[in-house]
Chain A
Amino acid sequence: MTGKVLGIVGRVYLALILFFLYAPILVMAAMSFNASEFYQLPFAYSGEWYERLWSNRAILSAAWRSIWIAFVVTGIATALGTAAAIALFRYDFPGKKVLRALLFPPIAIPWLIIGTAMLIFFFGIGLGRGTPTVIIGHVALALPYVIVIVSARLATFDATLEEAARVLGASPWQVTKRVTVPWILPGIVAGGLLAFAVSFDQFVVSYFLSEPGDATLPVLIYTSIRKGFTPEINAISTLIIAVSMSVMLLAARYSNFGGER
């Protein structure tokens, strides 16, 4: 009896969580296809807002900037993060434990504070605002995620395999390429997808570090909302959510199923 009651309570609880998580998103997605500019019901289908997106140059160029920045950040953060994770795995050096521990706090520090700190720092070193600064900032944000995910995968790797490859005549680079990387590939992919998401969805740090003229998509959306809310924003937001969720689902798939292959 109690088991059954608990089962029902559990299901209701789960349903509530999913409802509060996804209801706003679903409403927004629905409204992006609604003809009325003022969210009036009954619902009448229209692709108008998406068509308007197409001709909105500001949004298009911001979207394009967000995408290419995310790709560049993903490339840099994945390469650096993987190399760092392998180095942490392979070599013992003084301060290794401290370094490893220092990777976690940036994940927990509020982005607002990191953003402020970065702004002060980049002005301090004379780099100022701009796209290169945004990229550096994003890489710094994404790097710990990649290192942590790849390290988790490396923890399941048998280091004797590297020794076996060495005696068989493989140079350290060949060992990395032929033995280590194939094993941790799911971790690298998952880390890369997460790095992409961190960059593509990043608002605070981008807002602080980008120049007013070349905003990324989230920054542009924020500034547009302050001027006035249009259903176009619904449309672009729906697209962003679709992209981000696909990326995250892929990342989850790789980090979960990677373990058993």
Chain B
Amino acid sequence: MAEVRVENLTKTYGPLKALDAVTLDFRDGGFFGLLGPSGSGKTTLLRAIAGFVIPDDGRVLIGGEPVERVPVEAREIGMVFQSYALFPNMTVADNVAFGLDVRRIRGAERDRRVKDVLDLVQLGDLGQRKPHQLSGGQKQRVAMARAIVTRPRVLLLDEPLSALDKALRVEMQVELKRIQREVGITTIFVTHDQEEALTLSDEIGILRNGRLVRHGPPREVYNNPRDAFTARFLGEANLFSGSLEAGGLRLPDGALIPGATTAMVAVRPENVQVSASEPSGPIRLRAEIRRRIFAGAMGTLILDRHGEPIKAIARDSEFAELPDNGRVWLSWREGSAIPVENAPN
């Protein structure tokens, strides 16, 4: 186990900055979720920590030691690839034992550790199967087992669950977290799925165009995203911008959002209240209903405000008395408008 630190990490591919001066601490034993749009540099960051990518600038420290002179095979890292990368001609047990074999750990010690880790991932009986005889979720478990059996200092997971269907993914999320807790290993987890990152991580970081735009505990980042990009990327957000006045934020159509202190605010869809009659509070905006989407317990309402789409989410029953079309009122509780900066592209 060890903490990982990257300092000023920079990698360019021609004119493109895949990583742009990223500085970040990964706490010892922590579960760090790395998020960002496609091409934002998540994989590049993981590969730089693993040693496959040689940074142009900056450095990686594992357990406080700089590792630029340590080759990949000596970094003591566990890695799970999106495609699992199981060795096709080896059995499950031999796949798992690979890291032990190259370390010349043999005999009873080898067998015991393989068995223990297969039990940990609940694959005790499948040791003699070949990878092509396994389901997606089972392959995933083998890949996990193989990565942790050598007791690495860091575990790197690059979208390990993205090849699984939704139900299995949720199951494996719980599993992943359980295994990580039991082993207590510093874990860096790349995902496209922000919900996954929010559920699993002690801390998250958001990359954009190779830059780290925000990091912190998930609840903190979600509740206070600080900039429009993070607000939109992590969860959904309705953005309102206009000019700042003494009384609040004046929108282009003349409506006022009282209490606002920035030229732009974000309101989460679940905090937007929609009503047919005029609300009593200070925040009152008009909008037109465009579409009502039913998705089981929760419903989504797509509204239109002067050409700007607005989204509201609530229990579907709360939308029951609203007209299918036509003008309605929007409001929210005063603390729900999050001040954000307009992030430059």
A167-B102 contact in complex given A158-B85, A160-B81, C-beta closer than 8 Å: no
Does B99 sit at the interface, judged by CB under 8 A? yes
B77 contacts A174, C-beta separation under 8 Å = no
From known contacts A169-B150, A179-B87, infer whether A164 and B81 are also in contact, taking CB-CB under 8 Å.
Answer: yes
Taking a contact as CB atoms closer than 8 A, the residue among A163, A178, A261 that contacts B85 in the complex is A163
Q: Are B83 and A182 in contact (CB under 8 A)?
A: no
* Band of interface residues on A: 10 to 19
Query: In whole angstroms, how far apart are the Cα atoms of A89 and B147 in the complex?
Result: 26
Q: Point out the residues of chain B lying under 8 angstroms from A26, CB to CB.
A: none
Once bound together, how far apart are the Cα atoms of A121 and B89, in whole Å?
Answer: 45
Which parts of A158-178 form the interface with B (CB within 8 Å)? 158, 160-161, 163-171, 174, 178
| Nearest Cβ on chain B to A53's Cβ, whole angstroms | 44
The answer to whether A164 and B89 touch across the interface, beta carbons within 8 angstroms, is: no
- A168 near B98 (CB under 8 angstroms)? yes
Q: Which of A167, A178, A179 contacts B77 (CB 8 A)?
A: A167
- The reply to whether B98 and A167 form a contact with Cβ atoms under 8 Å apart is no
Question: How long is the Cα–Cα vector from A179 to B95 in the complex, in angstroms?
Answer: 11
Which of these, B73, B87, B101, B103, contacts A167 with CB under 8 Å?
B73
Residue of A160, A165, A182 near B98 (CB, 8 A) is A165
Chain B residues in 8 Å Cβ range of A178: 98, 101-102
Would you call B72 and A166 a contact (CB within 8 A)?
yes
CB distance from B143 to the nearest CB of A (A): 8
Residues of B within 8 A of A171 (CB): 73, 102
Docked-complex contact B79 and A164, CB < 8 angstroms: yes
Q: Is B78 an interface residue (CB 8 A)?
A: yes
- Check B289 for interface membership: any CB of A closer than 8 A: no
State whether the Cβ of B50 lies closer than 8 Å to any Cβ in chain A.
yes
Residue B294 interfacial (CB < 8 Å): no
Q: Say whether A145 faces chain B, with CB atoms less than 8 Å apart.
A: no
What CA separation (Å) do A163 and B75 show in the bound complex? 13
Query: A182 vs B88: C-alpha distance in the bound complex, in angstroms?
Result: 10
What CA separation (Å) do A51 and B103 show in the bound complex?
58
Beyond A174-B102, A178-B102, whether A169 also contacts B85 by CB under 8 A is: no
Chain B residue contacts of A208, Cβ below 8 A: none
Q: Is B211 at the interface (CB under 8 A from chain A)?
A: no
B85 touches A168 (CB 8 A): no
Rounded to whole Å, the gap between the CB of A59 and the closest CB of chain B is 44
Q: Which residue of B lies closest to A170 (CB)?
A: B102
A183 CB within 8 Å of chain B: yes
- A158: B residues at CB distance < 8 A: 83, 85
* Nearest-Cβ distance from residue A172 to partner chain B, whole angstroms: 8
**Residues 148-174 of chain B, each 1 if its beta carbon lies under 8 Å from chain A, else 0:** 001000001000000000000000000
Within 8 Å CB of A163, what residues of B? 52, 72, 79, 81, 85
Chain A residues near B226 (CB, 8 Å)? none
Q: Does B146 sit within 8 A of A, measured CB to CB?
A: yes
Contacts of B50 in A (CB 8 A): 167
- Within the complex, the shortest CB–CB distance from A73 to chain B, in Å, comes to 29
Which of B78, B79, B87, B101: most chain A CB closer than 10 A? Answer: B87
> What is the CA–CA distance of A160 and B103 in the complex, to the nearest angstrom?
20
Give the nearest-CB partner of A175 in chain B: B73
Is the beta-carbon distance between A168 and B83 smaller than 8 angstroms? no
Q: How far, in angstroms, from A219 to B116 measured CA to CA in the complex? A: 65
**In the complex, chain A residues whose CB is within 8 Å of the CB of B79:** 163-164, 167
A169 touches B81 (CB 8 A): no
0/1 interface trace, chain B 68-104, chain A, CB 8 Å (1 if under) = 0000111111110101010111000000001101110
- Establish whether residues A168 and B52, one from each chain, have CB atoms under 8 Å apart when the complex forms: no
Q: Across the interface, do B87 and A170 meet the contact criterion of CB distance under 8 Å?
A: no
Residue of A whose beta carbon sits closest to that of B80:
A164
Closest chain B residue, CB of each to CB of A182 = B89
Instruction: Assess whether B72 is in contact with A167, with CB atoms less than 8 Å apart.
Output: yes
Q: Is the CB of B85 within 8 A of A164?
A: yes
- By the criterion CB–CB under 8 Å, are A161 and B87 in contact? yes
Cα A160 to Cα B52 in complex, Å, equals 11
Whole-angstrom distance between the alpha carbons of A183 and B52 in the complex? 22
Q: Could you tell me if B85 and A170 are in contact, using CB atoms closer than 8 angstroms? A: no
Q: Which residue of A lies closest to B83 (CB)?
A: A160
Give the distance to chain A from B102, nearest Cβ to Cβ, in Å: 5
A52 to B103 CA separation, bound complex (whole angstroms): 59
The verdict on A168 contacting B81 (CB below 8 Å), with A163-B52, A179-B87 known, is no
> A169–B52 contact, CB under 8 A?
no
Partner of B99, one of A160, A161, A168, A179: A168
A160 to B25, CA, bound (A): 27
Chain B residues 226-271 with CB under 8 Å of chain A are none
How far apart are B110's CB and chain A's nearest CB, in angstroms?
A: 14
Residues of B within 8 A of A169 (CB): 73-74, 76, 99, 102-103, 150
Write out the residue numbers on chain A whose beta carbons fall within 8 Å of the beta carbon of B87: 161, 164-165, 179
Cβ contacts B202-233/A at 8 Å (1 or 0 each)? 00000000000000000000000000000000
Question: What are the interface flags for B35-78 relative to A under an 8 Å C-beta threshold, 1 for contact and 0 otherwise?
Answer: 00000000000000010100000000000000000001111111
Q: Are A167 and B89 in contact (CB under 8 A)?
A: no
Question: In the docked arrangement, what's the CA distance between A71 and B81, Å?
Answer: 42
- Which residues of A come within 8 Å of B, CB atoms? 158, 160-161, 163-171, 174, 178-179, 182-183, 261
Query: What are 12 of the A-B contact pairs (CB < 8 Å)?
Result: A161-B87, A161-B88, A166-B52, A166-B72, A167-B156, A168-B73, A168-B102, A168-B150, A169-B73, A171-B73, A174-B102, A183-B88
**8 shortest interchain CB distances as A-B pairs:** A164-B85, A168-B99, A160-B85, A166-B72, A167-B79, A170-B102, A169-B102, A169-B73
